[in-house]
Amino acid sequence: MNPKIKNLNQKIISCRKCDRLTEFREKIAIEKRKQFESENYWGKPVTGFGDINSEILMLGLAPAAHGGNRTGRVFTGDKSAEFLFKCLHLAKFSNQPNSERMNDGLTLNNIYLTLALKCVPPFDKPTSNELKECFKYLKEEFILLKNLRIIVTLGKIAFDSCLKVFELKNKDFKFFHGARYRLNNKLEIVASYHPSPRNVNTKRINQTEMIKLLKSLK
Ligand code: SF4
C-alpha cells in the first residue's frame, strides 16, 4: 500500500475527535445485532478502500451500523453492499460480485470507495460540525488521489457533502440519479441514488439503472 495512504488510514482509524460518534460506534460494537452476536465488531472509523491511483472515487455518507462499523470495510457486509457490488462487478469495476468481510479477496479496478464521514452517526444524521471535522480526512484523500477525474456520490447527503468540501453552493447543482456536473477544470461530480434496501425495494433504483450509470463513467 502507498505509504501516504497507509499513514492517513492509521490516523483515521485512531481518531476520537467527535465524542458523540465515538461513543455511538463503540456502543453498537458492544450491543451488536443478534444475527452477528458471535462476531467481533470493528467499532472504529472506517477508511477508504481500493486503488489510490484510480480515476474514479465513489463517495458514500458514513459506515452502516452493522455493515462497515461491524466489518471494518466501507460498503461491506450489508444489503447496500450486496446490491452495489453486484452492479460494480457487472460493470467490471470489481473482481467479484460480493463484499462480505475484510480479506475476502475483493479488489477494485480504477475505483476508490470512501465515506464523507468515517464513523457511523445515530439515525444516519451527522451534525454539521461532525461533517466539517471529518472533511479534513476526505480532503487528504482527494490530494492523494492524483489521477482523480470523477466523483460519484451515493445519495443526496453525500452529494451535498462533496459540494461543501469544494465550497460550492447546492442551489447550483440539482440532485437526481445520473446528474453530472463539472466541479472545476479537472473534476466532475456524478449523482447517484443510494443503493439502500429502501431505494431498491421501492424501485427508486434498480440494477439496470445503476449499471448504466457505472458504464457511463468509463
Ligand atoms: S467522524 Fe471523523 S473526525 Fe469524527 S471521530 Fe470519526 S473519524 Fe474522527
Give the separation between CA 79 and CA 9, rounded to whole angstroms: 25
Identify the pLDDT of residue 40: 97
Half-sphere exposure (Cβ direction) of 138: Cα atoms closer than 13 Å = 27
Please give the grid coordinates belonging to residue 141: 484523500
Give the separation between CA 65 and CA 32, rounded to whole angstroms: 9
Residue 20: band (very low, low, confident or very high) from pLDDT cuts 50, 70, 90: very high
15 CA closest ligand 1 atom index: 8
Is a pLDDT exceeding 90 seen at residue 1?
A: no
Question: Residues lining ligand 1, CB < 6 A?
Answer: 12, 15-18, 21-22, 45, 117-119, 130, 133-134
Residue with the smallest CA separation from ligand 1 atom 3 is: 134
Q: What is the pLDDT of residues 94-133, one digit of tens each?
A: 999 999 999 999 999 999 999 999 999 999 899 999 999 9
Please give the grid coordinates belonging to residue 83: 446490491
Identify the pLDDT of residue 170: 83
Identify the pLDDT of residue 53: 95
Q: How many CB atoms lie within 10 A of CB 38?
A: 6
67 Rama sector, left if φ>0, alpha if ψ -120 to 50, beta otherwise? alpha
Q: What is the pLDDT of residues 37-95, one digit of tens each?
A: 999 999 999 999 999 999 999 999 999 999 999 999 999 999 999 999 999 999 999 99
Identify the pLDDT of residue 171: 83
Q: What is the pLDDT of residues 149-198, one digit of tens each?
A: 999 999 999 999 999 999 998 888 999 999 999 999 999 999 999 999 99
Give the separation between CA 69 and CA 25, rounded to whole angstroms: 7
Which of these CATH numbers, 3.40.50.170, 3.20.20.100, 3.40.1410.10, 3.40.470.10, describes 3-216?
Answer: 3.40.470.10
Q: What is the pTM of this model?
A: 0.95
Identify the pLDDT of residue 47: 98
For residue 143, the CA-to-ligand 1 centroid distance in Å is 19
Please report, for the chain, the start and end positions of each structural domain, with discontinuous segments joined by +: 3-216
Give the separation between CA 85 and CA 140, rounded to whole angstroms: 26
- Across the range 131-145, mean pLDDT stands at 96
For residue 62, the CA-to-ligand 1 centroid distance in Å is 10
Burial class (CB in 10 A: 0-12, 13-18, 19+), 30: exposed
Identify the pLDDT of residue 169: 86
12 CA closest ligand 1 atom index: 7
Rg (alpha carbons) of the chain, rounded to whole number: 16
